[in-house]
Structure 1
């Protein structure tokens, strides 16, 4: 007989003092909380985290704030007062991890920097997230996701060819910074378990965005290529983009010769494409992506998206529908994976959680 056991979360018993606000830092500390850490979030008094004012509001609570601050306890403190500072410093003495995303230099002025706190807690893992990093000519500047996306080159390679620079639809650099800080924290914590010594780790919105642009920077340093906007196309593979159908769009990822043959023969019933010299190799298909798109869409517009999704699946060619949010959360795969839950919030009542 198989015994069902509920496993302990990996960070149960780990204490996190969270001095972050808005998105990058709260996303990082939220994930620490999801893994079982006891997260105490310190908010400025009397206004609290800036994102508390974001809409939509339900029963006076911001949905945007709430989704980034689950699994946390919160305390509003005036850290500029002697009493407030003393409370935070006392909490830091028993913390395993401290996270902060003030402008560089602010925590030192407050007396909450790593050097000050580790004097009383040698095993402390301390993580800083900022706009541009703790050193360099821009260190003291404030940074937001839009600024980091622009300065990391991402906006110049996003959008449609010939269009204005475009921001990625989500706060990519914010999330990238939070994730980068997360694995740095976990690495430092593992090191502490092995060697008994805490560490200081830091990242920034700018650097985290740069770190996610691997192929683009490889092509730039390797061949001097300047990555420009390509819509939904891939720089190194075709067909690999979203194509218009009879009632919307469908994505196709036929990025090798086996998939290309299956796509032509089984999905589109267009074996003549296999004999077309313009499409004889992946590199040539990338070169002739305009013509390839025109040929594919001339076929795809004859049927709705659902037809092509089924055809792609039957041929084992990766692809899927292009959803709006009103469709995303109704998809059976999303439901089967419990990505969306209904929970009871103590103030907001019954809410949908992602």
Structure 2
């Protein structure tokens, strides 16, 4: 069966997470992704902990289904080799520091003059133009700049980082959206285009209605921890042997909760009659519920609430979540095989296409694993030309 992006070729000039996440998803859809890495070292995240069998978990996550080619981009010969490759590429994805692509003759202006159908995606911290263009941008730093720290953490605690790299991943997803839109547009116009994603813009977008709250009221939202200012009962609750998160955002779900725990008096109590009443009397409601939940078995009460249609979830560890019945039923964890035959587990793409399935996962590549393939299939080199490139140090010394 045909893969969604079969026949699309991607040149990845990206490192760390945001850019590679984007091109990894393109690879999941069947695009051929050629990842260019620094000879002898490669992507910095190859060396991040934890390492298992010589593979970084971070690198393994965002580099499945790719080919790795090493090129010394400082050399004019290497730049010429990439210019040859660009002739047959559909997409370039880069997240170098601002100015690097100009230094290496790999800018959109240069590459689009070689291939006018090229879609060139640039991912940066704060955009490629303006006074902040050269400002380094990493996920937690941008979280802080965009206000995400200020709304995360306990109400009486310090501003807190969101541990998961949501800005990096969100930027990769945003880049993917922009690229797919540009591909569709190219079908109508015959031309590629430059698309840009800034981590700061993504972080602000991820703040969602918190940003809108400020824009419409002029007041910055406060940290609430696990609580909510708009709905009750919402938050973390303790059973006799575990914790769970409850989110009753309307009167209907509150009535279901009261019936489930055999507490009809809660519904009849005028303090809790409407969501507005429950928000005004949130502490009192939490006390009532805590007294009930503390006597119950966690799995039992969560199961009963789920059966009743109450929005609730156990507070699992990452390991428990990946081993959970939901993860097993969704096939969330996949296994891929490295070139050396050893398996590497991975988290599957967060979407399914039922008419055009995704590519079966292949593990992240070894550094320079595809160099010979690149010589043979992309450049069509004879032995003399291959020796000439090797002598020039194009693929590293």
Corresponding residue of 1:3 = none
Distance in 1, Cα, partners of 2:132 & 2:224: 30
Corresponding residue of 1:114 = 108
Corresponding residue of 1:282 = 275
Residue 355 of structure 2 is aligned to residue 350 of structure 1: no
2:326 to 333, 336, 347: 333
Corresponding residue of 2:58 = 64
Corresponding residue of 2:97 = 103
Cα RMSD after superposing both structures: 1.5
Residue 141 of structure 2 is aligned to residue 147 of structure 1: yes
The Cα of 1:130 is off from its aligned counterpart by 0.6
Gap regions ≥5 residues in structure 2: 348-397
On the 8 A contact 2:60/2:346 being kept in 1, the answer is: no
On the 8 A contact 1:58/1:348 being kept in 2, the answer is: no
Aligned CA distance change for structure 1 residues 64 and 262 (closer, same or farther; 3 Å): same
Aligned CA distance change for structure 1 residues 340 and 38 (closer, same or farther; 3 Å): same
Aligned residues: 347
On the 8 A contact 1:32/1:182 being kept in 2, the answer is: yes
On the 8 A contact 2:226/2:236 being kept in 1, the answer is: yes
The Cα of 1:348 is off from its aligned counterpart by 7.0
Distance in 2, Cα, partners of 1:135 & 1:308: 54
Distance in 2, Cα, partners of 1:293 & 1:41: 52
Residue 186 of structure 2 is aligned to residue 188 of structure 1: no
Aligned CA distance change for structure 1 residues 347 and 63 (closer, same or farther; 3 Å): farther
Distance in 1, Cα, partners of 2:288 & 2:83: 65
On the 8 A contact 2:83/2:114 being kept in 1, the answer is: no
Corresponding residue of 2:75 = 81
Q: TM-score, normalised by structure 2?
A: 0.84
The Cα of 1:162 is off from its aligned counterpart by 1.2
Residue 4 of structure 2 is aligned to residue 14 of structure 1: no
Gap regions ≥5 residues in structure 1: 1-6
The Cα of 1:58 is off from its aligned counterpart by 2.9
Q: Alpha-carbon deviations, 1:92-150, whole Å to 9, x = none?
A: 12110000001222111211111110001111111011111112221111110011100
Q: TM-score, normalised by structure 1?
A: 0.94
On the 8 A contact 1:247/1:304 being kept in 2, the answer is: yes
Distance in 2, Cα, partners of 1:214 & 1:58: 37
Corresponding residue of 1:93 = 87
Instruction: Provide runs of 4+ in structure 1 moved above 3 Å.
Output: none
Higher relative contact order (CA 8 A, sep 6+): 2
